[in-house]
Amino acid sequence: MFLEQLKLFRLPAPPPEARTRHLLIGGRIVEYRLKRGAKRLSLTIDERGLRIGAPRGTSPAGIEAFVKGHGDWVLKKLGELAHASQPRHLTIKDGARLPLLGADAEVRVLPGANRVRWIADILVLEARPEADLARLATRALQQRALAHFAGRLAHYTGRLDLAAPRLGLSSAQTRWGSCSRQGGIRVNWRLIHLPTHLGDYVVAHEVAHLLEMNHSPRFWAVVGSVYPDWKAARAELKQRATSLPIL
């Protein structure tokens, strides 16, 4: 039993390394890792650098053309990453701390059956010896996000005398939220890492779309009626986008 508990505090074995390559973009040599077997071509940039997913059979020329087609974005993101003040990739282990709604949550890892629970702002992971702690933490954060943003959705729809639509979470890389008359409102669960006023802005923004499915002056007037300081929040959210932790 003691040996099994010790396994909980070991870092998970690293995945097989993707193949490292180099590409010239805008006069700059960019290193990237290529992983075959993806459903579609994709780009990911974090403190580990540029990673590309590609379906099997995609030619090197096709991959190169795809990356160069997004060259400006790649160089911009790599530049932002180079100036980041701290690493974003967090290792989930006992005693780790996660940003949660403008504060910190402490992670506690205990032996268990891969269940998660919150005790105030303490995240308890009851994990099996070989559990993926990052996946368990993500599940818990998503549960917390859904409960929190459901409350904020009720608040802002109430301000406009609207019925709260169905709420869902997203993991989108480039969008904080979305709204459709059929699908309801979706918010990015990673907003749970940011101060509450930023998540409120996103919810208010999407609620305003229930009345104005556009970004016209009428739309922004609706946003301003329920969230007057939306311009400052939008600017702060853009600034913080590159500092969100990666589990």
Is the pTM for the entire model greater than 0.75? no
pLDDT at 175: 86
Are residues 155 and 78 part of one domain? Answer: no
Distance from C-alpha of 5 to C-alpha of 111, rounded to nearest angstrom: 6
Identify the domain boundary among 44, 64, 82. Answer: 82
With respect to residue 204, please indicate whether it lies within any of the assigned structural domains: yes
147 and 237 belong to one structural domain: yes
Domain presence at residue 7: no
Q: Are residues 60 and 150 in the same domain?
A: no
Say if residue 77 is in the same domain as residue 155.
no
Domain count for the chain, please give it: 2
Structure tokens at 128: 């099996």
In a domain, 180, yes or no: yes
240 vs 18, 36, 88, 185, 194, CA distance in Å? 29, 31, 12, 22, 8
Which of the listed residues 36, 58, 82 is the one where a domain comes to its end? 82
Has residue 128 been placed in a domain? Answer: no
CA distance 74 to 189: 24
Of 66, 82, 98, the last residue of a domain is 82
Q: Is residue 186 part of a domain?
A: yes
Q: What is the pLDDT along the chain (247 residues), one digit of tens a residue?
A: 333 443 443 444 444 445 678 888 887 888 888 888 888 899 888 767 888 988 988 898 899 899 989 989 888 888 877 665 455 678 899 999 999 998 999 999 999 999 999 998 899 999 988 889 999 999 999 999 999 999 999 999 999 999 999 999 998 877 899 998 888 999 999 999 999 999 999 999 999 999 999 999 999 999 999 999 999 999 999 888 777 888 8
Is residue 14 situated within a structural domain? no
pLDDT of residue 12: 42
Domain that holds residue 62: 19-82
At residue 8, the pLDDT reads: 40
Q: Is 158 among the domain residues?
A: yes
Q: Please check whether residues 77 and 145 belong to one and the same domain.
A: no
